[in-house]
Amino acid sequence: REGAPAPAECRAAPRRIAVVGPQAGSPTAVLGCYSFPVHIGTQHPDMPFGIELPTLREALAAEFPGSEIVAAEGCGIDTRDTDGIAGAVAAARDADVVIVALGDRAGLFGRGTSGEGCDAPDLALPGVQQRLLDALLDSGTPVVAALIAGRPYALGRAVDEAAAIVQTFFPGQEGTRALAGVLSGRVAPSGRLPVSVPRLPGAQPSTYLAAPLAARSTVSSIDPTPAFPFGHGLTYTDFTWSELSVSTARASTGGELGLAFTIRNTGGRRGTEVVQLYLHDPVASVVRPVQRLVGCVRVTLAPGERARVGVTVPADLASFTGLDGRRIVEPGALRLRLGASSGDVRLSADAELYGPVRQVDHTRALHARFTVGAPTGPA
């Protein structure tokens, strides 16, 4: 977020870091419900994990050897006990930054808050974790929220007030070390959300594949716009997109469309942009989602470098199941949207398919093809 503390690579490491939250001291926090230690190991608590599972506190202590790490749990995953929140706030007030690790306990059939048979009525953080987060935001210390969870939880005021939010889901054995590397600035993050993160716990729609009336409109007093849309993700540099050209704007229902554009790293460090291509079909015999992801590619550039990116879009990507149950490609207008997320379209182009309705099968193209030219400019 603008105005947030820079990663340690760009400035002196914090003198004191408060590491709090129910996920900060749990070695299994990073494991999903079908991992062996969670699936079977919980039935044999005396057995060792058999793998190295550093906690987030341990990973941060190794990442910041010159910083004092102050620990406080604050609360449990799904308990209602708030007695530990005051201690966590006190630790935060005495620190330069507070990292709060929140989220889920993976499990099966009620043994966790996320996993097979572990359902939730809404997307509010389990237990009193939101109360802990809000109390830390009131501490006056910059708050970094790390979400180690199986769901995209609504985070309330933290969306606007936290210095940073990192969503890891259940990243696996090396997850805490990877997270520590991102928080220190040693690693520039390049992940993108595979889901939308809601602003409200009960927000609908839950997917970006929605009809036009699912967006903000006058027919409802509730704004369903997600806090962070599908495909969203930040890194420690900036990119500009420009010079869009369309080589093939019209193609048959069995042909291919073509376009190209230039992407440039305008920031101060090496980074990766994830180019996403969305297809918008405004008129079809069956109502289509407003847009649908049909391809993506990673482009890694040093500061000042630029690269030309070519995109080939098979007409198959406009196919859908028609009224008679056949998967077809119809002629008509399309719009191709290039963006950094489903909610951040940078470039767009109109296109058209012509010719007869064409039936497709399992051999159809499933994604666009990208070519990334050699980087040019300052290294």
Residue 42 has pLDDT above 90, yes or no: no
Q: How confident is the model at residue 319 (pLDDT cuts 50, 70, 90)?
A: very high
Calpha distance 293→286 (Å, rounded): 18
| Whether 273 contacts 377, CB under 8 Å | no
Q: For strand 97-103 and strand 332-341, is the pairing parallel, antiparallel, or unpaired?
A: unpaired
Residue 27 has pLDDT above 80, yes or no: yes
**The pLDDT value given to residue 171:** 96
Q: How does pLDDT run across 260-305, given as a tens digit for each residue?
A: 999 999 999 999 999 999 999 999 999 899 999 999 999 999 999 9
**The pLDDT value given to residue 339:** 97
Q: How does pLDDT run across 174-218, given as a tens digit for each residue?
A: 999 999 999 999 999 999 999 999 999 987 777 888 777 677 777
Q: For strand 256-265 and strand 292-301, is the pairing parallel, antiparallel, or unpaired?
A: unpaired
Calpha distance 290→281 (Å, rounded): 7
- Burial of residue 67 (number of CB atoms within 10 Å: 0-12, 13-18, 19+): buried
Among residues of the chain, what percentage have pLDDT more than 70?
A: 97
Q: How does pLDDT run across 155-176, given as a tens digit for each residue?
A: 999 999 999 999 999 999 999 9
> Which runs of consecutive H residues, i.e. helices, occur in 126-216?
129-137, 158-161, 175-184
**The pLDDT value given to residue 7:** 57
* DSSP code at position 216: S
Residue 5 has pLDDT above 60, yes or no: no
List C-alpha distances in Å: 320 to 13, 197, 336, 348.
52, 27, 17, 22
Calpha distance 359→69 (Å, rounded): 61
Calpha distance 58→102 (Å, rounded): 16
**The pLDDT value given to residue 4:** 54
6 phi and psi, to 5 degrees? -70, 150
Q: How confident is the model at residue 246 (pLDDT cuts 50, 70, 90)?
A: very high
Calpha distance 97→215 (Å, rounded): 37
Walk me through the domains of the chain, giving residue ranges and CATH numbers. 8-187 (3.40.50.1700), 239-372 (2.60.40.10)
Quick one: tokens of 19? 């590491």
Mean pLDDT of 82-91: 97
Q: How does pLDDT run across 101-148, given as a tens digit for each residue?
A: 999 999 989 889 999 999 999 999 999 999 999 999 999 999 999 999
